[in-house]
Structure formats: C-alpha cells, structure tokens
Structure 1
Amino acid sequence: MKFRRTLAVAALGALAIGCAPPQASNDTSGQSEETTGELRVWLFQEASNAAKEAVVDEAKAEFEKAHDGVTVNVEYLPVDGRASRFNGAFNDKASAPDVAEFGNTDLAGYTASNGFADLTADLGSWPDSKDLVPEVLDTATVDGKTYGIPWYTGTRALYYRTDVFTELGLKPPATLDELTATARQIRAAKPDLYGIAVGGKYQFALLPYIWANGGDVAEQDGETWKATIDSAAARAGLSQYAELISEDICPPAACAQLTGSQSVAAFAGGKAAMTIGGDFNRAAVDAGAVKGKYAVIPLPGKTEGSIAPAFAGGNLLGVFASSKKRTLALDFVQLLGGKTYQEKMFGAMGNMPTFTDVQDRVAADDPFLQPFIETVQSGTRFVPSTPAWTKIDAAGVLPTTVQQVATGQLDVAAATSAAAAEMNEAFGS
C-alpha cells in the first residue's frame, strides 16, 4: 500500500533533554584521519537487548569484512544514564566514541555542546537519503544543519474498541469534533468506561490538538524563540483537548494526572473505549484485556479526511565531532542506519523505519502499522529546537496549563498567558 508523502519540509529541529555543557571544544581541524583500528560505537540498551544485539552484530560483521584492519566495539548504554556519559565525552575526547545513538529530543543540547559532526553534505550525496521522510529528517536538523540519520521514528494514532463501537452502532470519528462527541456518547451509554483515556500529563496527545487547530507552542524569530501558546489557534487546540478531561468523558479526578503510559494502560485494561497511543504501545495493548477487540486509525484533524499532525519521536545515529575516524564512522552510520538494516531492526524490534519505501514494504506485511505510517507521511511536527525547552519541559508548563483548564482552576486565556510568560522567561525573550 502506498501512502501520501508530503513535500513540505518544515524548519523544525530537536529538543534538548540532556544536561550537556554549552560549547565544549571538539575542534579536530588539523588532525590526521585514522583508517584502521578500533571504531567505538555507543548504542542504547533496550529492556530486552538480545534482538537488537543480533542485528547490530550482523552489521558489525559486514562492516569489518569490508574494512580490513578495523574492529567495531559496541557498548550498550542505559538510557537513564546517558546524560553523564555524553557530557563526559563532549569534554574529554579520550572517552568519546566515534558513533552514537541518541534521542532526537537530545539533539539541540548536544549541538550546543559541539558534540556531533555536521553531516549535511554527506547525507546530500548519500543515495538512500532521497527516501527519508522529510519531517523525520527535520528532527535531525538544527539551524539548517543535519547531525544524524534518523534510525527509527515513532508516532501516535487513535486506538478504539471495535466491540464497543459495534455494540453502540458507532463509526470511527472522522474529525476531532466527532471524536469528542463520540467519546461523550460512549460515556453516557457505558458509565463504567472512559469515552477516551487521555491525561493532563500526556503532552504528546495534547500537541496534535494544538497543531491541528493551526497553533503552535512557540515560534522562532532569528536566534530567539517566543511563546505562541497564548495565540487564538493554540488556545482553541488546548481547549479542545482539555474538554476530553471532563466528567462526561474522562473525569478530571481520575484523568487530570494521567500520563501517556497510564492513558494507554487504562485502554489496555478495558477501562476506556479509545486512547491516543503509539505503534510502540502495541505489545502493551495486546497484553491487556482488549487484545483482538481494537483497531487503530490516524488521529483525525479538524476537517474530514485530514490527519492531526503528530509528534515525531525517535532516535538518531551520528558521528562524534571529536572522532579521528570520521570517514569510517560515517560509513558505519550509513550501513546501520541504511535501508537494509532499518528493515532488519523492524523485524527484530518493531522499530518504525524512516524511509518511505521501507515503510511501505513493512506496512504491506503488517496492516497494524498502516495508520501510523500514514500519519508520518502526512506530516509530523516537533518541539522548539532550543536547549531552553529543557527547562520548559522539566517544569511541566504545558501539562500544568491543561490541568488548570480541565479542572476549572483557570480559564484558557489566563492559563495560557501564564504559560507564555514562563516560557518566554526560559527563552530569554
């Protein structure tokens, strides 16, 4: 099955979650490049790492066979401990790897530390790059420069209970307004169910509502950012999302504090008729009470036939700026991050590929993926590409705003005005 591929390339970047020190020096000008020896690679350790290791080991063997005198040494890092390891590597070249996997939400902070090499020209001459989903590639880009290959991506769509919809004679919602009405109708008919499980702390479910209504959380003007969460369009989206956290859909007493994982868990446990979940939530849902009783469609937009823009999560593969083996490192990144091994990683881990042709192939074999891939290819969005977002995210500015509106503590104008002021303080604008 072929999906739409948007041609617009948004100027979006990535969020910094790490605590990387600014402007660490990784100047490698004048140093000779090494073409043999050990190539050090850092990858993230998964909860069940064996499947990932098997694919990586295959790539490692292929690479070593093609590069005489080169040994690839792969170290798997715990995700929770990544900040200290990366920060140390940015400041101490001797401890740095040549290649690393890192989250696209960490990129802005890492580039502020001069941590990764600019691969813009390299990817431009790489044949595989023409098939990268443009908006996913944007998550590897800061200030017009690309610092990695998107290794996999993840988006969210609308899960719904087919048994409940059949029993009540309902159709899947075609717009966000219909979703609200449907959720309210289900709650009225089945008071033991949430019409949809969403949470005040579920930021990645909130963002598509803001974007679908034509708003955004902030905009860039030159080198500075300014909050736009208090714009009319953003307020409309936040209000529409907050309406779901109401007594006749998902009661605030239960739902105002729900996170994304808790929202999905409520659906998986049979407590909700719908939820907004990721392709990566499939195993959790199938392990619950609704296995075999659900389907997934793209989260609809404001108008029938449209798809609400989703947040583009995922991880990147990049070359450390301090590496003395830049060419070898880039070759390995393009091998492991290329089409062949992305498809192998999908088979082993279920990671959604970032190439349109590979996405189409895997979706043809697994219909479950179709709504997620259609969502990706219809156009995804990202958060502000500035380290200041770390403070905003850590402070829970957007979740607090949703909770204030949903619980009636503040009206949407007052809540978003306060949020904008807090965000602008972090932006320094």
Structure 2
Amino acid sequence: MKLSARIAVPVAALAVAGLAVTGCAPSTSDNSAKTDEKSGTLRVWLFQEVNNKPKEEVVSAALAAFKKDHPDAKADITYIPVDTRAQKIKAAFNDPKSAPDLIEYGNTDTAGYVKDGGLADLTKEFEAWPDAKDTDPAAKQSVTVGGKVYGAPLFVGVRALYYRTDVFKELDLKPPATLDELTETAKKIHKERPELYGLAVGGAYTYGAMPFIWANGGDIANRAGGEGAYTAAIDSDAAKRGIAAYTALFGDDNCPAAKCAQMGGNDTVQAFASGKAAMAIGGDFNRQAVEDGAAKGKYGIVPLPGVKAGQIAPAFAGGNNIGLLKSSKHRTLAVDLMKSLAGKASQNKLFDAMGFLPTYTDVREDAAKRRPYVAPFVKTLAAGAKFVPATPAWATIDSSLVLPTMFQEVASGRKDVDAASAAAAKKMNAAFSSAG
C-alpha cells in the first residue's frame, strides 16, 4: 500500500478499509466491457498526497506524452482520499457507468479487488511491454494473482535500520552485522543510555517484525494446493524462532513492554526521529519524518541484518499499483495511459519529486547513485523482498490484528511463543478457509 510521508503506519493497515470490506464479499457480476473505443475521455482515479503538487506535475508530464500518441483521447484525473477509497472503488466495481478506466490502488488490495471482479487481466499487455522486463520480482508479485497480472507497479517501499551515529560513536559501536548483534547492541545502548530505547520496537508493528520471521527461515503462510489457497505457517519452528527473536526486544533492558507492546510503526519511527531511540526499523518513506526531527544530521541507515553476517533480512515490499477496470470501454487507450503513468520515465520523475522508489531495478540503481541515502533500501530490495499472501483473507487477518495480538501476548508474558503462535495460526486458517 501507499508508503509516503503522509502515511507512516504499516502498509497493510492502510489497506484494511478496502480489503476488510471486499475481502469476503461475493464477487461482483461480470461488468466486462464489450467494446474498445479508440477515442474519448479516460477517467483516472489517483491517490491524493499530503503535498499533491509534485505528483500532479509528474502526472501532467505523463499525460502530455500520452496525448502525443493519442490526439483524439483525453484524460480526466481525479485525486481521491486514501481513507475513503474502499467504498468509492467498491462502488465503481458495481456501477460501470460512473466507474473510472484506471485506478491507483495499494498493492495489498490486489487479491481482494481481483476476487471482487473489478480489475482486468493485463497479463498479455504486461508481458509484451518492454519496460516490464526490468520490474522487480516483488513488485511484479504485488500485481499477480493466480499467475495473472492485474496492473502495473507504480512504486515500491521497504524498511531498513536507522541508527544514531552520534550515540554509536560515543559508545564505540558499529552497526550490527547480525540479528543477534542487533539485540546485543540495543541492550548495551539502553544500559549505557537508559533514557533511550536501544531499538524502538512495537507490538503492533507487523512489518517491522516480519523480517525477523523471514530471516529465520519462517513464513506467514504457505500455499496449500489450489489457486489462492493458503495455510498458516506462523506456528512453524522457523517462524517461532523469529517471533522469539523479535519479542526478546521487549523488556526493561531495551524497550519496556508496558510502553512498547502497543506501539505501531509510526510510533517507533517517531521515537527515533524525536531522539528517544538509538535505532528503529523504518522505511525510505519515513526519511523525511526523521529529517524533520531531533535526529536530523545524526543518523545513518543500513540494511537490517540477517541471521548470519553478510545477510540482509528480507523486508516487506509495500507500494502502489495502477490497474484497469474490467468495465473500461477504452482498454487499448487505458493500457497505454497506464504505461505512461507507471513507465520508467514517470517512476524516475516520481522519485525525484516525492522520493518514491522505482519498481524497475535499473531505474532504482540510477536513483541510488543520485541520492546515496537510497542505497540501503535498494540493497534490501535486491537481496529479496517478501510480500503478504495473495488472498483476500489477508484483509481479515490484518484487520483482526491477528499478528499484533500474537506479538503483544508474548511481549507481555500472557502467553509463550508456542501458545501465541498456535492461536494465531488457528485464526489465520479460519480466515483462509472462509476466503475460499
């Protein structure tokens, strides 16, 4: 989902509104268009940013390029609020007459929108598009359901480790090379500087915790035979090692559970930005918040380390996509406009204008050369980012706070890892079963 400065919560939390409404609902009737008109006005819904002007300028440039090739076509751009997009897009799926041709949507929304029957299958067009060959695998996965492609990735966002360079210098520390070293370093800092969290962690910070699970060889869920079918893996031995590693950071020797168990991603980043933490797991999209805080000029960023030295812990690949509605009567034109909006030129401009990481590996590498602070995030993506299960059930799991509840139960001592992960797996499997 959207990962800009206007939203500093975990990505899937942003998609709850849309997916919770649509995830378990029956698919809409077949609203597929029967014509493909080569002229007329295309309607496009894009997300409204806190500071929308830079985005509007990038979109205007993309439209100008599109109009050169399609002088008989026009585009009507509407910027919609993210918070109310769920109802608006759901209504569009059910009312083709007022529906847009193209929409911007969060990448965790994909499976739910496909199940609702709202998005068009663009597999052939995507595979024939020259730009697409350089798409990051995790980004492509975010538009893929059941082996079919339902749009084009627009940008991607991942998290890395922010650390206070002044504190590390004072205590003669180096950025940790493994997750064990991360824990040791965090506890050493808190012992020497008790006014600081060594590493700010949150019991409600799902996407800060997932790298610990993935780095330990675990996963959230595994495919279970049929298309889109999953079964919970959060209670596997490998996943439990990751849960134990993450929840070990909650305590009086780093980040007290009484304060930190309820914290989300925004809270942990704010703790770092305000000077209350020596380390935090934050995204490229959080950098401006850090720049605006007390940590400005006193921090560095490195990839979150893995279990062994030299490894990078897999990160969740968030971001947004552009998709075509099945009901569009301008399929050819709309696909071309989608390519213009999400192509390499536009993504390059979006990065320069707003800091959104490109989904193309070559464009991203060039961006890192222009702005070195991007390098840790680019390295993290290159090491292999992960995505949530491609099923509408994820909305139920996410909105029901299944994983945060599990982390909080362990962090607070209410349950041990075995009991908490077993309870979470049971809830997840119920959601997977209901999603059918």
- Give TM-score scaled by structure 1 length: 0.95
Superposed CA RMSD in Å reads 1.3
What is the alpha-carbon distance in structure 2 between the residues aligned to residue 64 and residue 22 of structure 1? 38
Residue in 2 that maps onto 1:212: 215
1:48 is the counterpart of 2:83: no
Residue in 2 that maps onto 1:17: 19
1:307 is the counterpart of 2:312: yes
What is the alpha-carbon distance in structure 2 between the residues aligned to residue 82 and residue 164 of structure 1? 42
Residue in 2 that maps onto 1:4: none
Greater CA drift, 55-64 or 228-237:
55-64
2:345 counterpart letter in structure 1? T
User: Shift of residue 397 of structure 1?
Assistant: 0.8
Q: Which contiguous aligned blocks of 4+ residues in structure 1 show a shift greater than 2 angstroms?
A: 14-18, 25-29
2:48 counterpart letter in structure 1? Q
Residue in 1 that maps onto 2:8: none
1:102 is the counterpart of 2:105: yes
What is the alpha-carbon distance in structure 2 between the residues aligned to residue 226 and residue 28 of structure 1? 32
Matches within 5 A, 1:364-403: 364-403=369-408
1:149 is the counterpart of 2:143: no
1:276 is the counterpart of 2:278: no
User: Shift of residue 390 of structure 1?
Assistant: 1.1
2:249 counterpart letter in structure 1? L
1:28 counterpart letter in structure 2? S
What is the alpha-carbon distance in structure 1 between the residues aligned to residue 394 and residue 134 of structure 2? 30
User: Shift of residue 114 of structure 1?
Assistant: 1.2
What is the alpha-carbon distance in structure 1 between the residues aligned to residue 93 and residue 389 of structure 2? 23
1:160 is the counterpart of 2:158: no
Q: Is the 8 A contact 2:65 2:340 kept in 1?
A: no
Q: Is the 8 A contact 1:37 1:71 kept in 2?
A: yes
SS in 2 for 1:364: helix
What is the alpha-carbon distance in structure 1 between the residues aligned to residue 305 and residue 362 of structure 2? 24
Q: Is the 8 A contact 1:242 1:402 kept in 2?
A: yes
1:245 is the counterpart of 2:250: yes
User: Shift of residue 161 of structure 1?
Assistant: 0.4
User: Shift of residue 427 of structure 1?
Assistant: 1.5
Residue in 2 that maps onto 1:10: none
User: Shift of residue 33 of structure 1?
Assistant: 1.2
Q: Deviations over 1:91-123 (max 9, x none)?
A: 111111111110001111100011111111111
| Aligned counterpart for 1:186 among listed residues 185, 189, 194 | 189
Residue in 2 that maps onto 1:5: none
SS in 2 for 1:345: helix
SS in 1 for 2:380: helix
1:331 counterpart letter in structure 2? D
Structure 1 unaligned blocks of 5 or more: 1-13
| Aligned counterpart for 1:339 among listed residues 334, 338, 344 | 344
What is the alpha-carbon distance in structure 1 between the residues aligned to residue 73 and residue 302 of structure 2? 46
| Aligned counterpart for 1:80 among listed residues 80, 83, 95 | 83
Structure 2 unaligned blocks of 5 or more: 1-14
What is the alpha-carbon distance in structure 1 between the residues aligned to residue 31 and residue 256 of structure 2? 55
Residue in 1 that maps onto 2:422: 417
Residue in 1 that maps onto 2:9: none
Q: Is the 8 A contact 2:20 2:399 kept in 1?
A: no
2:19 counterpart letter in structure 1? I
What is the alpha-carbon distance in structure 2 between the residues aligned to residue 145 and residue 345 of structure 1? 27
Q: Deviations over 1:358-383 (max 9, x none)?
A: 00111001110000011011111111
1:249 counterpart letter in structure 2? N
User: Shift of residue 225 of structure 1?
Assistant: 1.7
Q: Is the 8 A contact 1:319 1:330 kept in 2?
A: yes
Residue in 1 that maps onto 2:4: none
Q: Is the 8 A contact 2:121 2:150 kept in 1?
A: yes
| Aligned counterpart for 1:265 among listed residues 265, 270, 274 | 270
What is the alpha-carbon distance in structure 1 between the residues aligned to residue 246 and residue 87 of structure 2? 36
User: Shift of residue 222 of structure 1?
Assistant: 2.0
What is the alpha-carbon distance in structure 2 between the residues aligned to residue 266 and residue 376 of structure 1? 25
- Give TM-score scaled by structure 2 length: 0.93
Count of aligned pairs: 415
What is the alpha-carbon distance in structure 2 between the residues aligned to residue 39 and residue 351 of structure 1? 25
User: Shift of residue 18 of structure 1?
Assistant: 4.9
What is the alpha-carbon distance in structure 1 between the residues aligned to residue 423 and residue 137 of structure 2? 34
2:367 counterpart letter in structure 1? V
SS in 2 for 1:344: helix
What is the alpha-carbon distance in structure 1 between the residues aligned to residue 322 and residue 431 of structure 2? 29
1:23 counterpart letter in structure 2? S
What is the alpha-carbon distance in structure 1 between the residues aligned to residue 420 and residue 392 of structure 2? 24
User: Shift of residue 26 of structure 1?
Assistant: 3.3
1:117 is the counterpart of 2:120: yes
What is the alpha-carbon distance in structure 2 between the residues aligned to residue 116 and residue 393 of structure 1? 22
